[in-house]
Amino acid sequence: MLDKFGIAKRIAKEIKDGYYVNLGIGIPTLVVNYIPDGMQVVLQSENGLLGMGPFPYEGEEDADYINAGKQTITTLPGSAIFDSAMSFGMIRARKIDLTILGAMEVSENGDIANWKIPGKMVKGMGGAMDLVASAENIIVAMQHVNKHGESKLLKECSLPLTGVRCVKKIVTEFGVFDVLPEGGFKVVELHEGVSIDTVKQYTSGKLIY
């Protein structure tokens, strides 16, 4: 099975040359470190940055340069910094080729819940709702099961939804899954050492293999 770094590395393979990509909070922020050398990719952060680079080395951080998750980042030559209104204008105008998000739950129809657990204090959903409403290509990076060992790939989400029928692909510690238009998680690949029986055991939604 893969750890969070392995999941990020696998998702980086889905990025194509010339893409404009938005990275969500959590595992998606790690993808920046696995983009192949020589590939021209422009990373967008919803707080107002185009041209995000890898994470800085210890001691080289600049607190004025952060991503949407408030982690310090670097910028690349040609990068641009602007206000959040312009950033969300890019998102709502569908200028972003790929959005990579974390999630608490995904349903077999592609619904996503990634911003709130009832009864727990949250600062707000940030740009998640805009991203899922506007993006045409959404990949979710997530753990297959929660801390209680329960599936996060469900028939229906139990948590408040961020968006409906929007997720196209999911990468977990077990494998890669396409969300089919007619519903269901189609197994695209299993990571080394993972059996289909394990995936069946921990997938509550419709599994196609």
- Please pick, among 14, 46, 58, 108, the residue that the annotation labels catalytic: 46
**CB within 8 Å of 120: residues ≥ 6 apart:** none
Is 136 among the catalytic positions?
no
Q: Which residue is listed with tokens 């592609």?
A: 110
Distance CA 100, CA 187 (A): 19
Write down the H helix ranges in 55-174.
Answer: 84-92, 128-134
Nearest to 22 by CA among 133, 112, 187: 133
Distance CA 149, CA 196 (A): 17
- Tokens read off for 47: 């707080």
Q: Is 162 exposed, middle or buried (0-12, 13-18, 19+ CB in 10 A)?
A: buried
- Cβ(145)–Cβ(152) under 8 Å? yes
Radius of gyration of the chain (CA): 17
Give, as one character, the DSSP assignment of residue 161: P
Residues noted as catalytic: 46
